[in-house]
Structure 1
């Protein structure tokens, strides 16, 4: 499947606000009960991701087969995670104070949360999503 930009946005939105939200809720329960910070991080991962998808879509058009292999997804995930952690650490975001990761254990929690959300959404997209939403697979990643 070769995602189109609208398909990328729909897919990112769908998986982050279903699978990602469920994983975020469970992670927040594991760390001292529900905590808004995990949901705020998920929101910013989604928001910045919409912008990154424009870049990824452009890069994908440069490839002869216009494909975006799983290795590229892994690399993009690492880049997005580093980017958002640096923004939170050095600049801050509305609702997330600057230097948050200076507190004991908060960077570890971010890494655990980010990694779990990504793994669950990645494996969802590689398996169940393709089986349950065949339209998605054959229409450029569009959900509707």
Structure 2
């Protein structure tokens, strides 16, 4: 069974919040924020993570619509990795124009986004599938 829209949204929120949150807590003080305080680095990093989660719900709706045009109604795994490019660009634009006070410097944003995206993608396509074997029979849902 393919993951349902509800299952993909749940997975995205859960894994990005847990794995991305832990990774952000580790990497935030190490980000190149140009001499800003550690508290400001954490604030900016977690705002970026929160906006990433919120935009991710919208992206899942768009991806679901696009997948309806594919024969097997699913993406190849590599496409899932490449979607990070357009999601990163849109996230940067949203942060730049909607929340400019929370936007970290470009280098810090790039390091946080790319490393978080790759880590979340690896967890979703690796250990999570091995640990939760029966999850695919529930359409990818946890709840």
SS at match of 1:62: coil
* Matched positions, count: 136
Separation in structure 2 between the aligned mates of residue 123 and residue 75 of structure 1, nearest angstrom? 13
Provide the C-alpha distance between the structure 2 equivalents of 1:131 and 1:142, rounded to a whole number of angstroms.
15
* Structure 2 partner of 1:123: 122
Q: Secondary structure at the match of 2:68?
A: helix
Does 2:140 correspond to 1:141?
A: yes
- Say what the alpha-carbon RMSD is for the aligned residues: 1.8
Q: Which runs of 4+ in 1 moved over 3 A?
A: 31-34
Q: Which has the higher contact order (CA 8 A, sep 6+)?
A: 2
Give yes or no for contact 2:81–2:121 (8 Å, CA) kept in 1. no
In the superposition, the TM-score normalised over structure 1's length comes to 0.86
What residue in structure 2 maps to residue 65 of structure 1?
A: 72
Deviations 1:5-63 (A, max 9, x none): 10111000110111000011111122363521100000000001101100101111211
SS at match of 2:142: coil
Unaligned stretches of 5+ residues in structure 2:
32-36
* C-alpha distance after superposition, 1:93-127 (max 9, x if no partner): 2xx428x46xxxx1011010001111111111111
